[in-house]
Amino acid sequence: MSSPASVRGSRETAADVIALLTARQQTVAAAESLTGGLVAAALTDIPGASAVFRGGIVAYATDLKAVLLGVDRAVLDACGAVSPDVAAAMAQGACSRLGATFGVATTGVAGPDPAEGKPAGTVYIAVSAGHLATSARRGTQVRRLALAGSRDRIRRGTVAEALALLLETAREET
């Protein structure tokens, strides 16, 4: 899957996120599953990240998505951990639990084997901007990705796409 995020590069996108949020005095938090902290690492690799990055929660195990991020157990039972509803709830949980303007979330199957009946490369990313009082969209954006390649490539592609969605959403908010 080719996209602007994969062409542009995670580091440049992360730097743009940090610069934009710093200028607006806004913050971001991450809720990660298959990426295991790579989104948080990409953001904190950028000098000045401490001004905007609140923290991250790696909820790799399904039960931790409920315990740490507040994802409804009924949703997890009905949809599984790899679903758009869970990605949205994770992003919202990152905002509320970590007190951030934006929450970015990743959940999916990195492989090499399928999980929950879904093939490797099935990924959902989400960004919540629900805590902005003047938010133009006041909601959560979710995207489904169908990534190919090795486990590492899927995870790194997910990071690139999640950062791109975060930047896009932050730019749209006023």
Give the angle subtended at the CA of 58 by the CAs of 55 and 59, to the nearest 5°: 135
Return d(Cα 174, Cα 166) in angstroms, integer. 14
Count of structural domains, the chain: 1
The pLDDT value given to residue 26: 96
CATH code (residue 149): 3.90.950.20
pLDDT for the residue 2: 40
- Whether 9 and 42 have beta carbons less than 8 Å apart is answered as no
pLDDT at 9: 86
State the Cα–Cα distance between residues 174 and 161, nearest whole angstrom: 22
Range of the domain at 36: 4-172
pTM, to two decimals: 0.93
On the 0-12 / 13-18 / 19+ scale of CB atoms within 10 A, 24 is middle
- What integer pLDDT is reported at residue 173 of this predicted model? 81
Residue 75 CB partners (closer than 8 Å, separation 6+): 83, 85, 86, 89
Which residues partner with 141 through β-bridges? 127
Mean per-residue pLDDT pooled into runs of 10, the chain (174 residues): 55 97 97 98 98 98 98 96 98 96 97 96 94 59 97 97 97 82
